[in-house]
Structure 1
Amino acid sequence: MDKKVDRIIFLADCQSFYASVEKADNPGCRNKPVAVAGDPSRRSGIILAACPIAKSYGVTTAETLGDALKKCPELVIMRPRMQHYIDVSLMITEIYKEYTDLVEIFSIDEQFLDVTGSISIFGDPINIAQSIQHKVLQQTGVWIRIGISSNKMLAKIATDIWAKKNKSGIFTLRKDEVESLLWPQPVQKMFGVGSRMNAHFNRMGMNTIGDIARTPLPKLKDRFRARFGKQSDIQAEVMWRTANGLDDSPVTPGTLYAAPKSIGHMMTLPRDYIRKEEVENILLEMTEEVCRDSRRKGYMGKVVSVSCMCSPYEAPTGFSRQMKMNDPSNNTNLVFEAVKTLFYRHWDRMPVRRIGVMLSGMVEDNGYQLTLFDDQVRARALDRATDAIKDRFGSAAIIRASSLNSGQALERAQKIGGHYK
């Protein structure tokens, strides 16, 4: 029997991606501290990315712009251009595909590559990594860090703990080095462990990744149940497998385009909404976005969910509820009726601060249930017509009159993921 060949997996990460793109487009800022901020016109805006020079002043992602400017008064602030960052990310994906057809997008700035079958063509893993770094830097101005290992989890760990810290931007973590290199690392450096989970592990007497890895899985599950409840077995196993560097999942190019389990949108309102008409405008806009996304992806939802958080922040009230519709749908008007039913059934009339709408229980949009009183054919034709106008001329090309009053459709049309395009 042939011996199983270890895979060679890369996790390629773009350094300070948004800031790197801006510096590449603005050569005059090459030697200046640069940050991309959510709203440069407000000191309360949040830092989305900071270049290495800015980080050397102590500027960090997710801090307020005001705090960043106190640390670095010379900081050059760039307004985010989300569509441009997406375009550059896709350019980088195409470069990766020159080396392997097994490329899986993990996030806008991180991608997995399986180069097992590329060694005979492009050379050893280090040569491939260096070639990728050079080509991406040359064509986009973005510096890539690459972690190399035998599975996706270890490649991700190799990038986060070592490749991001060394000068070459490349690090190889072999399976037989997990115990000597990974286990001595503090728990907080483990992928999937945030500050709260780190505190939980510390209270359990687990301070290093090795402390988790050496704990027998049944015992770790018992300790998780005692702390988090009966439903924590899966979480315990994920942590244990991560600590031991175990991951059987393949690099899957189609992951980004797999059938969605749900499609939803949520937004924090610019102010508290109190009047019924104001809230309904937002609910309708959110429903329209969700249904349009569903139609674009070719799916309908059986289950509608509505979530709401009401002010004040120090003692918020709210709810998250769902209901099953009679038939799957992605028609805005039909889904909106279910959304309104859910919302008014559970809203306590407190000022609304955050609101969300979601469709789940997705089925393919290749057939639909005809009803006696609704003209489904006409409704679907109208949806297709409005979608085509928006696809061609932009989301704000056609909006409902109610959105001109207290809606946010025009503002949201200028953004991607809550940030300006």
Structure 2
Amino acid sequence: METQANNIHRKIIHIDMDAFYASVEQRDNEDYRGKPIVVGGPPEGRGGVVATASYEARKFGIRSAMPSKKALQLCPHAIFVRPRFAAYKEVSQHIREIFSRYTDLIEPLSLDEAYLDVTEDKLNIGSAIEIAKQIKQAIKDELNLTASAGVSVNKFVAKIASDMNKPDGLKFIGPSGIESFMEILPVEKFFGVGKVTAEKMKKMGLHTGADLKKLSEDEMHRHFGKAGRFYFKIIRGIDNREVQPHRETKSSGAEDTFTYDLTTLDEMYAELDKIAITVANRLQRYELKGRTVTLKVKYSDFKQITRNQSFPSPICDLESISATAKQLMATSFEDGQKIRLLGISLSNFGDAVTRQKQEKDTGQLELFD
């Protein structure tokens, strides 16, 4: 069986800014400090989506990707603030510059999150924990913001660790403690395990990493398909993925699995509207435009199809994305079909990706999921 040997000598840091957009807003406007701030589209009209919420707002159950109307119901006195992406990108550039003082092996996941490989750091500090401390302190001193850091021998464990002591946290999980840590981790925390797979696991009596470890690799494959072999390694803390400084987005999208099967076009249109809002917000946040809209449909018998439509010019607006997805749905649907999942994605970014490569070369933080 594969071991962690290939990972032992890597020193990986995962940095995750704390409630990033909301924290920037609270930093820049003292009237927002200590109050429940929701950054995203307003709840009026068609309604927006929560991009992020301050920790004061999270106490009321408000979470990212939640409809703004739901957030308002949970916290009627919440302050809704429209995103200022130019400000966030400026901060991200500064964060990236701080990272680059220590290593060039930086893999941004979004404006506020990145992996760093400091196995060989530029300043010859040698200690990943010390580097993480210095980065956190620099972010606090230079930007008046806080970040949480996870330190370990691979990306997966470092990412899990960064979430453990938020906000302003630092957690190290060394090689000898990885497997015992994984054993107590809930199944939904494992990389690649979505809510549907997590529910399937729980119905099988699998609630933690320790439960999953009882299954052989073949059993994991039999129950969860190709992903099962990946889960088999992950629950043992084995993750050989390298930090990739030059990640490129091929597509961006969102999907949802429903608690009951959809049987009418009206139901499907309503769900597609919600998904389209998430996709449009993400594209606009990252300044991406694509030429191809793809609809993903999974039926109750798990049969899956995709349908797409391309445009002569790139788009990112909600109306075009939603209308195209609905049109594709209408031409694909037949009476009597039961649908358990819908998804929308945009691809064929073309010049947008080329522009982002150029921005990356000049030091800007990549804007990819």
Same fold, TM exceeding 0.5?
yes
Verify: 1:208 aligned to 2:243, yes or no. no
Residues 341-391 of structure 1 deviation map (CA, whole Å, 9 limit, x = unaligned): xx89x93799xxx9876549x9xx9xxxxxxxxxxxxxxxxxxxxx99xxx
Give the match for residue 84 of structure 2. Answer: 81
Give the Cα–Cα distance (whole angstroms) in 1 for the partners of residues 48 and 231 of structure 2.
34
Verify: 1:164 aligned to 2:166, yes or no. yes
Q: Report the secondary structure of 1:321's partner residue.
A: strand
Give the match for residue 95 of structure 2. Answer: 92
1:15 to 18, 31, 48: 18
Verify: 1:321 aligned to 2:325, yes or no. no
* 1:98-113 paired onto structure 2 within 5 Å: 98-113=101-116
Q: How many angstroms does 1:147 deviate by?
A: 0.4
1:124 to 119, 123, 127: 127
Give the match for residue 401 of structure 1. Answer: none
AA aligned to 2:169 is: G
Q: How many angstroms does 1:264 deviate by?
A: 7.4
Give the Cα–Cα distance (whole angstroms) in 1 for the partners of residues 181 and 203 of structure 2.
24
Residues 172-211 of structure 1 deviation map (CA, whole Å, 9 limit, x = unaligned): 1112212322212221222332321111111222111122
Q: How many angstroms does 1:237 deviate by?
A: 1.5
If the length of structure 2 is used for normalisation, what is the TM-score? 0.67
Give the match for residue 247 of structure 1. Answer: 239
Give the match for residue 58 of structure 1. Answer: 61
Verify: 1:176 aligned to 2:176, yes or no. yes
1:135 to 131, 138, 141: 138
Give the Cα–Cα distance (whole angstroms) in 1 for the partners of residues 77 and 252 of structure 2.
40
Q: How many angstroms does 1:11 deviate by?
A: 0.5
Q: 1:238 to 1:38 in 2, by over 3 A?
A: farther
AA aligned to 2:85 is: M
AA aligned to 1:154 is: V
Hey, which of these two has a bigger chunk of helix by percent?
1
Greater mean deviation of Cα atoms: 81-90 or 206-215? 81-90
Residues 75-108 of structure 1 deviation map (CA, whole Å, 9 limit, x = unaligned): 2211112343233223211111111111111222
How many residues align? The count is: 297
Q: 1:306 to 1:55 in 2, by over 3 A?
A: closer
Q: Report the secondary structure of 1:90's partner residue.
A: helix
Q: 1:265 to 1:35 in 2, by over 3 A?
A: closer
Verify: 1:347 aligned to 2:349, yes or no. no
Q: 1:181 to 1:88 in 2, by over 3 A?
A: same
Give the Cα–Cα distance (whole angstroms) in 2 for the partners of residues 63 and 245 of structure 1.
31
* 1:369-408 paired onto structure 2 within 5 Å: none
Give the match for residue 236 of structure 1. Answer: 228
* Contact 2:37-2:53 within 8 A present in 1 as well: yes
Give the Cα–Cα distance (whole angstroms) in 2 for the partners of residues 178 and 305 of structure 1.
41
Give the match for residue 279 of structure 1. Answer: none
Verify: 1:25 aligned to 2:11, yes or no. no
Q: How many angstroms does 1:12 deviate by?
A: 0.3
AA aligned to 1:251 is: V
* 1:275-314 paired onto structure 2 within 5 Å: 307=295
Residues 26-75 of structure 1 deviation map (CA, whole Å, 9 limit, x = unaligned): 12322222111223544943222111122123333333333333433332
Give the match for residue 378 of structure 1. Answer: none
Q: Report the secondary structure of 1:86's partner residue.
A: helix
* Contact 1:122-1:128 within 8 A present in 2 as well: yes
Give the Cα–Cα distance (whole angstroms) in 2 for the partners of residues 154 and 114 of structure 1.
13
Bigger relative contact order, structure 1 or 2 (CA pairs below 8 A, ≥6 apart): 2
Q: 1:141 to 1:321 in 2, by over 3 A?
A: same
Q: Report the secondary structure of 2:120's partner residue.
A: helix
* Contact 2:296-2:307 within 8 A present in 1 as well: no
AA aligned to 1:198 is: A
Give the match for residue 39 of structure 1. Answer: 42
Identity %: 29
Q: How many angstroms does 1:112 deviate by?
A: 0.3
Give the Cα–Cα distance (whole angstroms) in 2 for the partners of residues 320 and 44 of structure 1.
28
AA aligned to 2:235 is: A
Q: 1:182 to 1:70 in 2, by over 3 A?
A: same
AA aligned to 1:158 is: A
Give the match for residue 6 of structure 1. Answer: 9
Q: Report the secondary structure of 1:244's partner residue.
A: coil
* Contact 1:43-1:64 within 8 A present in 2 as well: no
Q: Report the secondary structure of 1:219's partner residue.
A: helix
Larger Rg belongs to? 1
AA aligned to 2:26 is: K
Give the Cα–Cα distance (whole angstroms) in 1 for the partners of residues 182 and 89 of structure 2.
33
* Contact 1:264-1:359 within 8 A present in 2 as well: no
AA aligned to 2:234 is: T
Give the Cα–Cα distance (whole angstroms) in 1 for the partners of residues 30 and 170 of structure 2.
26
* Contact 2:102-2:122 within 8 A present in 1 as well: no
* Contact 2:42-2:80 within 8 A present in 1 as well: no
Q: 1:250 to 1:77 in 2, by over 3 A?
A: same
Q: How many angstroms does 1:242 deviate by?
A: 1.6
* Contact 1:21-1:140 within 8 A present in 2 as well: no
Superposed CA RMSD in Å reads 4.3
Verify: 1:146 aligned to 2:149, yes or no. yes
Give the match for residue 280 of structure 1. Answer: none
Give the match for residue 361 of structure 2. Answer: none
Give the match for residue 192 of structure 1. Answer: 192
AA aligned to 1:113 is: L
Q: Report the secondary structure of 1:121's partner residue.
A: coil
If the length of structure 1 is used for normalisation, what is the TM-score? 0.59
